[in-house]
Amino acid sequence: MPTIIRTNRELKERYDDLKTGDCFMGLLRFKNLRHRVLIDLLERGLRFFPSALSQTLGRSKVAQAIALRQWMVPHTLIIARRVDLMHAINAYNQRGISTVVTKEDHLQCGFGIHRWESIESLYNHASSNNALYPFVLQPFLEAYTDVRVIMAGEYCEAYARENRNNFRMNLTAGGTSRPYTLSNDQLALCHSVIKRGKFPYAHIDLLITEDGHNYLSEIALNGGMKGSRIKREELDALKKDILEKMAGA
C-alpha cells in the first residue's frame, strides 16, 4: 500500500524510507534545497500532488516563460545573462518595441514588475546589477484588461482588476475589482495552460487587449483573493478535496 505523506515535517522524518509509488501531498518547502530534494524524490518514483511541474512553475516566472510562453505576450523572452539582453535589444529594436516590462523571478504581488521606457535603460541598469538575472522580458502593453481567474475542479470565477494610478493592477498595489465573464476562448486558454503545467487548480492572470487578444500573464497554485466571491476557507477545502481524490486514485 503506497504511503501518503501530508506534511513537510513527516516527509523529512521518513525521507530515507520512501519508495516508488509513495505520495507527497502539499507544497514542498525545503528552504534553499527544494529543487535538489524534488529531483531526488522524482528519481525515486514518488508522486506529487500538486504535481512537481505545477509547483515549479507556480514559484518561478522564468520557469513559466519556458513552459508556457506560447500563451504569453508575443516576443516574451527569458534573460539569463547579459548576452541574452544584448540580443534582445537587437530583436526588440528591429520590431520597433521601445517600452518594456521585466519580471523578477520569484517576487509576488507586483513587487517584481518593472517598466522601462527603453530597453537601453534596462541594459544600463542590468549591467551593474548581476543579481537581476534571470528575469522575464516582455513588450509593455499600453491598454489591456487584467483578469484574475480562480479555477478549482468545477469551480471557476473571474474578476477584472483596475488601477488608474499604477500600471500594476494587483489589488495589493491599490487596485479595484469588478466581476468579469470569461469568453469561451479565454476559458479554453485557461484549460490549456492548466493542462500543460499539470495544475490541479490555479490562480491565473490574463491580459485581454482592446483588439481582443488573450494572453497569459502568470499562473500560481495559490494567490490573492481580495476580489473573489469565494472565501479562502472554502477554496482551500475545495483544493484539499481535489488533492485527496488524486492521491487516492
Question: Among residues 122, 117, 121, 125, which one has the least CA distance to residue 137?
Answer: 122
Tell me what pLDDT residue 137 has: 97
Mean pLDDT of the chain: 92
- Find, among 178, 161, 179, the residue nearest to 170 by Cα: 161
pLDDT tier for residue 24 given thresholds of 50, 70 and 90: very high
- Check whether 174 has a pLDDT greater than 80: no
Burial group, residue 249, by CB count within 10 angstroms (0-12, 13-18, 19+): exposed
145 beta partners: 208
Q: What is the mean pLDDT of residues 71-91?
A: 96
In order of their start, the domains of the chain are: 4-49 (no CATH), 74-139 (3.30.1490.20), 144-248 (3.30.470.20)
Report the amino acid identity of residue 122: L
Predicted confidence at residue 235, as pLDDT, reads 97
Q: Which residues contact 148 (CB under 8 A, 6 or more apart)?
A: 158, 159, 160, 161, 177, 203, 204, 205, 223, 224, 227, 228
Most confident of 26-35, 114-123, 172-181, 188-197: 188-197
Return the biggest CA–CA distance within the chain. Answer: 60
The string over 157-183, giving b where at least 16 C-beta atoms fall within 10 Å of a residue's C-beta and e elsewhere, is bbbbbebeeeebbbbebebebeebebe
Residue 54 CB coordination number (10 Å) = 22
How confident is the model at residue 109, as a pLDDT? 65
pLDDT tens-digit profile of 99-113?
999 999 877 767 788
CA separation for the pair 204, 187 (Å, rounded): 11
Is residue 172 very low, low, confident or very high in pLDDT (cuts 50, 70, 90)? Answer: low
- CB–CB of 140/154 below 8 Å? no
Beta-strand pair 23-25/113-116: unpaired
DSSP 181: P
pTM of the predicted structure, to 2 decimals = 0.92
Q: Which residue has the higher pLDDT, 138 or 172?
A: 138
Give percent of the chain with pLDDT exceeding 90: 79
In tens, the pLDDT along 4-13 reads: 999 999 999 9
